[in-house]
Amino acid sequence: MCTLGVAVGQVNENFSGVTSATGGSAGSYTTKSFTGVDGGTWVATDARTDQTIDGPAILLRNGTLTSPSISGGIGSLTLTTQRAFSGGSGNLTVTVNGDTVGTIAYDGTEMTSSINGINVTGDVVVVIDARNSASDRPVLDDLIWTAYSGSIKDEPTNHATSFTATESGSNAINLTWTDAVTGSQAPDGYVIYGNTDSGSLPTPVDETSPTSDTDLSDGSGIIFVAHGSESASFSGLSENTQYFFQIWSYTNSGSDIDFKTSPVGPTANATTEDAPDIVINEIHADPGTGTDANGDGGTSSTNDEFVEIVNTGTTELDISSWSIEDGVGNRHTFAASTTLQPGQAIVVFGGGTPDGEFGGSLVVTASSGGLGLNNSGDDVILKNNGGSTIASYTYGSEGGDNQSITRSPDLTGAFAKHETADTDDASSFSPGTKIDGSSFGDALTISGTEGWRMLSTPTSDNTYDDLLGDIWTQGIGTGADVTTGTANVQLYNTSTDNFAAATDLGATMTAGTGFITFVYSDDDFTNSGADAGFPKNLFLFGNENSGDVSPTLNTEGDAFTLVGNPYASTIDWDLLTRSDVTGTVYVYDNADSGYDTWNGTTGDLTDGLIATYQGFWVQNTSGSPTPSLTIQEADKSTGGTFRKDVNPSTIKLTTEMEELSANAHFSFTSTGELGKDNFDGLRLDPLDFKEFLSISTLVGDEQLSINNLPADLNEEVTIPMDVEAFTTAEEGWIPKGGEITLTWPELKNLPEHWEITLTDYKTGTTTNILTESSYTFIAEEAKGKVKPKTMFSVLSPVSAVKSKSTNETSRFGITIAPGTSVSIDDEIDAPTEFVLGQNYPNPFNPNTNINYSVGEAGPVNITVYNVMGQKVAELLNTTKNAGNYQITWNATGVASGIYYYRLTAPGQVLTRQMTLIK
pLDDT digits (tens, 9 = 90+) for 815-829: 999 864 332 233 334
Q: Output the pLDDT for position 201.
A: 96
Cis amide leading into 535 (omega within 30) = yes
Average pLDDT over residues 431-435: 96
Mean pLDDT of the chain: 89
Report whether pLDDT(830) > 70: no
The per-residue pLDDT for 640 is: 37
Q: Please state, in angstroms and rounded to a whole number, the distance separating the CA atoms of residues 695 and 724.
A: 6
Q: Is the pLDDT of residue 869 over 90?
A: no
For 333-366, give the DSSP string.
EPPTT-EE-TT-EEEEESSS---S-GGG-EEEE-
Contact between 883 and 858 under an 8 Å Cβ cutoff? The reply is: no
What average pLDDT does this structure show over 520-534? 77
Peptide bond into 263 cis (omega under 30): yes
- At 609, the pLDDT band (50, 70, 90 cuts) reads very high
Q: What is the pLDDT of residues 678-690, one digit of tens each?
A: 999 999 999 999 9
Same fold yes or no, 10-146 and 278-421:
no
pLDDT of residue 686: 93
Q: Could you say which architecture CATH assigns to the domain 278-421?
A: Sandwich (2.60)
Is a pLDDT exceeding 70 seen at residue 37?
Answer: yes
User: Any idea which of 15-29, 632-646, 675-689, 716-730 has the lowest mean pLDDT?
Assistant: 632-646
pLDDT (average), residues 401-427:
95
Look at 136-140, 160-164, 598-602 and tell me which has the smallest mean pLDDT. 136-140
Taking alpha carbons only, the member of 737, 706, 744 closest to residue 603 is 706
Q: What are the residue boundaries of the structural domains of the chain, listed by start?
A: 10-146, 161-271, 278-421, 444-541, 645-828, 835-916
542-551, 553-562, 841-850: segment of lowest average pLDDT: 841-850
Beta bridge partners of 617: 562, 586
- Rounded to an integer, the average pLDDT of 777-789 is 75
Instruction: Provide mean pLDDT across the span 321-333.
Output: 91
Domain 161-271 class, CATH top level: mainly beta
Query: At residue 233, does pLDDT exceed 60?
Result: yes
Strands (E), 658-769: 660-669, 681-682, 692-699, 702-710, 717-729, 732-735, 738-748, 755-760, 765-768
Contact 551, 629 (CB under 8 A): yes
The reply to whether CATH 2.60.40.1930 applies to domain 835-916 is yes
Enter the DSSP assignment of 529. Answer: G
- Whole-model pTM: value is 0.60
* 752 close to 746: Cβ distance less than 8 angstroms: no
Mean pLDDT over residues 354-362, rounded?
94
- What SS3 state is found at 510? coil
pLDDT band at 399 (very low <50, low <70, confident <90, very high): very high
In degrees, rounded to 5, the angle at the alpha carbon of residue 46 between the alpha carbons of residues 43 and 51 is 85
Supply the pLDDT for residue 637. 67
- Is it true that the peptide bond before 354 is cis, omega within 30 degrees of 0? no
Residues contacting residue 36 through CB under 8 Å, at least 6 positions apart: 13, 15, 17, 42, 67, 68
pLDDT at 704 > cutoff 60: yes
Percentage of residues in the chain with pLDDT exceeding 70? 93
Query: Do residues 771 and 758 lie in contact, with contact meaning Cβ atoms separated by under 8 Å?
Result: no
pLDDT value, residue 1: 25
CA–CA distance, 99 with 95 (Å, rounded to integer): 5
Question: 898 φ, ψ to 5°?
Answer: -95, 135
Say whether pLDDT at 243 is over 90.
yes
Distance of CA 305 to the CA centre of its chain: 34
pLDDT, one tens digit per residue, over 742-773 is 999 999 999 988 999 999 999 999 999 999 99
> Does 171 score more than 80 pLDDT?
no
Report the relative pairing of strands 378-383 and 389-395 from DSSP bridges.
Answer: antiparallel
Range of weakest confidence among 182-186, 268-272, 580-584, 657-661: 182-186
Q: Which helix (H) or strand (E) holds 799?
A: helix 797-800
Residue 171's nearest CA partner among 258, 233, 254 is 233
Q: Is 893 left (phi over 0), alpha (psi -120 to 50) or beta?
A: left
Phi and psi angles of residue 734, each rounded to the nearest 5 degrees, phi first: -130, 150
- Residue 466 host element (H or E): helix 464-468
pLDDT value of position 683: 95
Side-chain half-sphere exposure of 912, counting CA atoms within 13 A: 15
**Cα 510 to chain centroid, rounded:** 15
> Is the pLDDT assigned to residue 5 strictly greater than 50?
no
Rg over alpha carbons for the chain, rounded to the nearest Å, is: 39
Say what the pLDDT of residue 531 is: 66
- Evaluate if residue 8 carries a pLDDT over 80: no
Contact 781, 735 (CB under 8 A): yes
Reference 335, options 285, 293, 385; nearest CA is 385
Predicted local distance difference test score (pLDDT) of residue 254: 75
- Label residue 220 by pLDDT band (50, 70, 90): very high
Dist. CA 371–CA 306, nearest whole Å:
7
Rounded CA separation 148/123 (Å): 10
Q: Are 147 and 8 in contact (CB under 8 A)?
A: yes
In this prediction, residue 821 carries a pLDDT of 36
Per the CB < 8 A criterion, the answer to whether 694 and 802 are in contact is yes
Closest CA to 698 of 849, 558, 893, 880: 880
pLDDT score at 528: 59
Q: Which of 452, 296, 302 is nearest to 363 (CA)?
A: 296
d(CA 206, CA 517): 76
| Higher-scoring residue by pLDDT: 659, 170 | 659
Mean pLDDT computed over 833-853? 88
For residue 916, pLDDT over 90 is answered with no
Q: Which pLDDT value is given to residue 861?
A: 94
- 306 CB-contact burial (10 Å; exposed 0-12 / middle 13-18 / buried 19+): buried
Instruction: Specify the pLDDT at position 532.
Output: 78
CA 411 to mean position of chain CA atoms: 19
Q: Specify the CATH class of 10-146 in words.
A: mainly beta
73-82, 628-637, 798-807: the lowest-pLDDT one: 798-807
- Determine the pLDDT at residue 33: 96
